[in-house]
Amino acid sequence: MILHLKLDQISTDLSKLIYLFPLNPLALFGIVLLNTNNTSMEKALTQTIFKSLFFFLVSTQLFTQTKQNDLLPTLYVISQKNCRPCIMMEPIINDIKRLYKSNLNIVVFKKRSKERSKLLKHFFQKLDLRFTPTFLLVNKNLDLLSYGKGYIPKQEFLKIVKDGLEKFKKLQNMQIDRLYYICDNTLKFCQATKKHFSKYISSLKNKPNITEINMNNYKTKPQWDNFYKTMKKFKYLYGWEAYPAIIASTKNNEVVHFIQKEFDQKQLQQEFKSLLQ
């Protein structure tokens, strides 16, 4: 069966979900996208197909666990079957369960589920989620506490967990002292993002200190060494890998929050609404 669909008739919500899955769901039904007029029957059938596809992808509960304690942070493990790094991490995860059973919820996703999709959608624009396994240590509001990906040696993984638990205890009382704006000012998208950033800062009643880091200034090895020295001073900086980026830190260089990739003034207001006024 071949349906001829207009591109703009595809559900926006569904198109946003497609990136969460390693297959093209349209191909499952032999759907060809063409810019032609559809009959009423075709439109109705299309809606039915997409609804069926959506529930097929996200409806099954594919992990078992005891009821989570909302007073504790949660370590989410995005895993899958027949994944060698995932198998290698299982003994380490079991050790974490034993060591931190009273301090931590642990949820392992080995297949797709509604909860997994919701989690990935929340962090898709914030973190690199291309690797399996991926580890997200978060509080009940999905504030990122620490993060890791791929096979991680036990001692390094223990540090990730310890840092996350430490930040969990501190987060409520951590105050933003400075925002670091990181970008390459020669790039057009960085120039556009900087305008949004400047407008956002202007809208604040209580303005934090601002430090701009222009990546175009780093060309020699000593300059790059200086850059890495600057970045290493941050504590709890897990997941930063791209620019433009804004890192919000305390006076003690503890990372309260960060945002990366492209963003506008509205997104900044949403990201920092409970942190900056």
- pLDDT tens for residues 211-262? 999 999 999 999 999 999 989 999 999 999 888 999 999 999 999 999 988 7
Same domain, 245 and 261: yes
- Indicate the Cα dihedral angle 132, 260, 262, 141, nearest 10°: 80
Q: What is the CATH number of the domain that holds 193?
A: 3.40.30.10
d(CA 238, CA 215): 20
- Higher confidence at residue 224 or residue 65? 224
- Higher confidence at residue 41 or residue 8? 41
Asked if residue 244 belongs to a domain, the reply is yes
* Number of structural domains the chain divides into: 3
Question: DSSP letter string over 140-175?
Answer: TT--EEEEEES---HHHHHHHHHHHHHHHHHGGG--
- Higher confidence at residue 34 or residue 82? 82
Rg (CA), the chain: 22
Which residues does residue 181 pair with via DSSP β-bridges, in sequence order?
A: 212, 246
Same domain, 120 and 44: no
Same domain, 178 and 128: no
Spell out the residues 6+ positions from residue 206 whose beta carbon is closer than 8 angstroms to its own.
276, 277
Number of CB atoms found within 10 A of residue 139's CB: 18
Q: Indicate the average pLDDT of the chain.
A: 79
